[in-house]
Amino acid sequence: MAQSAPTEVDVAIVGAGPAGACLALNLAALRRVVVIDRAAGPARRFGESLAPAARRLLDDMGLWRTFVAQEHMPCHGGTTHWGGPRPIDADGLRDPDGPGWQIDRALFDDWLRDVARARGAAILRPARLERVVRESAGWLLQAHHPDRVIEIRARILVDASGRNAALARQLGARRLHDDRLVCRWLLGKDNLAARRGLRFVAAEAEGWWYSASSPGDRRILAFHTDSDLDAAPAVADAAAFLRRARSIAPLASLLEDVEFVPDPGAPSFCAAHGTTLTPSIGEGWLAVGDAALGFDPLASQGVFQALYSGLDAAMSIDAALSGDARAIPGYRARLERIAATYRARLSAVYAQETRWTNQTFWGRRR
């Protein structure tokens, strides 16, 4: 396999999801940046919403107009059945930032990577990171691209590998789980155009349900519970999952016009627990996005935080490389404040649901 002399960069980023790509596109005009991602294809993520406040962030990064041109589906609000039998309707009309969006993650992630490339970042994808060696002035990395081995010397290393924090754990950091939340989901074809762009959340005895529009007239139906509760294996079978959903009154009518076609290749469960990385920065490295702080999906904040932490980390790294020793500790302090605010709000939202406090799922969250 071909191998050439090490490529010298300022920053090497592991992971080209929203956090890694956003960091790269903000730093590429100022520093030499390389991004390494192991995936060949798009992320399989459906029905994810982007908070309205992202508009200001995208504007600050010079991305707003091209974001709008992609025509992601506006999310005008939805209905929540939480804390009592009466539905609560929310709409984007009162939000000064306007509506949020149901984003097409494949399109969104590709677009961020394209902007990063256009601004000068090198993106190696698919590429497997094989070795990470600490040197006196930085790091020596070895990555396998399909047809060659690449060596990279970087002054700063960034973990943007998502909730597994693969790189930071290799460097000795620990990932703490807030709980055992998992998500079981199915995609269906939604035949009712009138409710596209509307989200739906409903609490039940052993967890909560989520449903939202996804690109291509599809609708995701997702159930969140703890992996060690009986409800988790009980919904592993697709037919049992749908029976359970239809037994929940507010969901039954929503699902009348949705056709679920089994997809044997689709994973049935994914991890959905909140996570914290400790520490989130170290000598010559830091983490961004889910690798640094993973959110419970109830918060719908993960993509926003990936973008925000990517931008914040870009500015902090640039300052650190110019000699500001307080820049990266400052990044960590802001991350800790975000984590504290997120946890307080999440607890308050879970505490609003009091109908099943004797159930383990809800008892654990009080």
Ligand X SMILES: Cc1cc2nc3c(=O)[nH]c(=O)nc-3n(C[C@H](O)[C@H](O)[C@H](O)COP(=O)(O)OP(=O)(O)OC[C@H]3O[C@@H](n4cnc5c(N)ncnc54)[C@H](O)[C@@H]3O)c2cc1C
- Phi, psi (degrees; rounded to nearest 5) at 41: -110, -175
- Any idea what DSSP says for residue 194? G
Burial label for 120, CB within 10 Å (0-12, 13-18, 19+), is: middle
Q: Which of 45, 72, 81, 184 binds ligand X (CB under 6 A)?
A: 45
Q: Which of 10, 13, 18, 346 binds ligand X (CB under 6 A)?
A: 18
Q: Is 49 in the site for ligand X (CB under 6 A)?
A: yes
Judged by DSSP in three states, 76 sits in: coil
What tokens were used for 133? 């060696």
Q: Is 162 in the site for ligand X (CB under 6 A)?
A: yes
Q: Is 234 in the site for ligand X (CB under 6 A)?
A: no
Q: Which of 266, 271, 290 is nearest to 280 (CA)?
A: 290
Q: Is 290 in the site for ligand X (CB under 6 A)?
A: yes
Q: Is 280 in the site for ligand X (CB under 6 A)?
A: no
Q: Which of 150, 242, 277, 306 binds ligand X (CB under 6 A)?
A: 306
**Going residue by residue from 141 to 160, which x/- string records binding to ligand X, judged by CB under 6 A?**
-------------------x
Q: Is 99 in the site for ligand X (CB under 6 A)?
A: no
CA distance 103 to 100: 9
Q: Is 48 in the site for ligand X (CB under 6 A)?
A: yes
Q: Burial letters for 130-152: b for 16+ Cβ neighbours within 10 Å, e otherwise?
A: eebeeeeebbebbbbeeeeebeb
Q: Is 37 in the site for ligand X (CB under 6 A)?
A: yes
What tokens were used for 218? 């599809």
Q: Which of 16, 61, 115, 122 binds ligand X (CB under 6 A)?
A: 16
CA distance 338 to 333: 9
Q: Is 106 in the site for ligand X (CB under 6 A)?
A: no
Using CB under 6 A, list all residues that contact ligand X. 14-20, 36-39, 43, 45, 48-50, 129, 160-162, 164, 166, 183, 270, 272, 289-291, 297, 300-304, 306
